[in-house]
């Protein structure tokens, strides 16, 4: 039992930063959580205060972005080992999924960037904006979990921990380097003060590996000196040379190489610049969104459903379900009509949006996932040339009644 609250169950992971245990939060009815014990020992009050600050910043940050693992609690055990308590997530490490096809690469990369952007923009601590730099971006610190809306949801692990460990290594008597050598920026290896561009360099290494399954350099040894030489002086290999069968857009190749620039000033200066390129690539790589859209003159009536006239007339006589709130919501429901039972997606929009999308084109995409349990997901897009698309995601949990 940890802190008279967390009942440790089993070891579920270990690495350079520490060990992770599955535990039950007894105070909250035994819900599962993940407890991470760090490798360093807190040796004085100053280190404990710094750890508490990093933990608070990490916890606050995790409330701002869905792409950062949520931190709930922190502390130091009786042996001086600091620990984090985080949400327990069932998923796979990115390191076990690479290399990736281009479409999945773009989806996951964009989510990683959104999480990093949130951290780099900073959080408000006592009236002061404090940006966070991760300092250890690598595939092992990216978790990918099934999600009914996004299909695959990215969670970045260990925000705040890397900075504390860097401090702890210099504050303790046993100093040493903290970081993962293949992903470290040149300035990190030199012990310089880091900003968001150091994470961008690590992101570049990881993007290269996500596509090719290899790193941009292959030094003869894994010692510090060999990796220092590679990062500081050797140019990264070309993606085309590492994986000749891989065909990627030139814009993506240029982006990755720019992230791997030796000097921070030669890299993209912020995550927004990377997202701009990824978004343009994702749009051009998505065949499910038509490039030419029918004009509104093709529709004989608003919200043309494509159903037989008699069936649509039956649907128009239906009343809003009494058990559903009068607000902007989307939900699935079975309809019993004279023609038989049909599935329907019910939604309520504001009066202005009803007016805006009265004549629109609609697209539907259905997906079925089996983990963590069977669910049917569908996304409907309402599109009007003059307006941005309106996305209506909805899912049906197969463990529950279709009417729920």
CA 265 remoteness from chain centre: 26
The closest of 189, 216, 45, 203 to 137, measured between CA atoms, is 203
What is the rounded CA–CA span in Å between residue 100 and residue 211?
6
Measured CA to CA, the distance from residue 201 to residue 203 in angstroms comes to 5
Active-site option among 25, 50, 73, 136: 136
Annotated catalytic residue 136: yes
Residue 181 CA to residue 198 CA, distance in Å, equals: 13
Cα–Cα distance, 267 to 334 (Å, whole number) = 53
Residue 399 tokens read as: 């463990």
- Rounded to the nearest 10 degrees, the angle between the axes of helix 196-212 and helix 250-259 is 130
Q: Is 36 annotated as a binding residue?
A: yes
Q: 357-368 as b/e, with b when 16 or more CB fall inside 10 Å?
A: bebbbeeeeeee
CB 358 within 8 A of CB 337: no
Write phi, then psi, for 166 (nearest 5 degrees). Answer: -60, -40
Strand partners, 391: 381
Q: Distance between CA 34 and CA 275 in Å, rounded?
A: 31
Angle formed by the axes of helices 161-171 and 45-62, to 10°?
170
Q: Is the peptide bond before 99 cis (omega within 30 degrees of 0)?
A: yes
d(CA 278, CA 106): 7
State the binding site: 36
State the binding site for ATP: 36
The residues carrying an active-site annotation are 136
């Amino acid at each position: 039992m940890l802190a008279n609250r967390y009942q440790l169950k089993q070891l579920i992971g270990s690495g350079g930063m520490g060990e992770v245990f599955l535990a039950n939060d007894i105070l909250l009815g035994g819900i599962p959580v993940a407890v991470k014990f760090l490798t360093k020992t807190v040796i004085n009050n100053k280190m404990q205060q710094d750890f508490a600050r990093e933990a608070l910043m990490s916890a606050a940050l995790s409330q701002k972005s869905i792409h950062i693992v949520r931190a709930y609690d922190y502390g130091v055990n009786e042996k001086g080992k600091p620990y984090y308590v985080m949400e327990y997530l069932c998923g796979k490490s990115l390191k076990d999924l690479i290399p990736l096809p281009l479409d999945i690469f773009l989806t996951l990369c964009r989510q990683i960037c959104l999480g990093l952007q949130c951290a780099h923009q900073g959080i408000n601590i006592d009236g002061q904006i404090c940006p966070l730099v991760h300092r250890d971006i690598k595939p092992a610190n990216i978790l990918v979990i099934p999600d009914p809306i996004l299909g695959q949801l990215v969670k970045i692990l260990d925000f705040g921990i890397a900075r504390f460990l860097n401090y702890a290594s210099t504050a303790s008597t046993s100093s040493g380097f903290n970081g993962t050598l293949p992903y470290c920026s040149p300035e990190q290896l030199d012990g310089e003060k880091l900003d968001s561009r150091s994470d961008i360099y690590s992101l570049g290494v990881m993007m290269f590996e996500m596509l090719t399954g290899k790193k941009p350099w292959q030094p003869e040894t894994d010692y510090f000196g060999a990796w220092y030489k590679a990062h500081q002086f050797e140019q990264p290999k070309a993606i085309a040379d590492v994986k000749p069968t891989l065909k990627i857009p030139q814009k993506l190749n240029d982006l990755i190489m720019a992230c791997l620039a030796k000097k921070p000033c030669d890299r993209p200066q912020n995550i927004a610049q990377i997202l701009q390129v990824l978004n343009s690539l994702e749009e051009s790589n998505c065949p499910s969104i038509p490039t030419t859209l029918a004009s509104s003159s093709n529709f004989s009536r608003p919200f043309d459903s494509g159903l037989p006239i008699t069936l649509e007339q039956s649907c128009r006589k239906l009343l809003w379900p009494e058990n559903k709130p009068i607000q902007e919501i989307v939900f699935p429901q079975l309809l019993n009509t004279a023609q038989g039972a049909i599935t329907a997606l019910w939604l309520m929009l504001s009066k202005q949006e009803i007016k805006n999308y009265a004549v629109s084109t609609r697209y539907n995409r259905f997906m079925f996932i089996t983990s963590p349990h069977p669910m049917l997901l569908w996304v409907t897009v309402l599109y009007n040339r003059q307006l941005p698309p309106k996305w209506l995601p909805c899912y049906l949990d197969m463990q529950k009644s279709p009417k729920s």
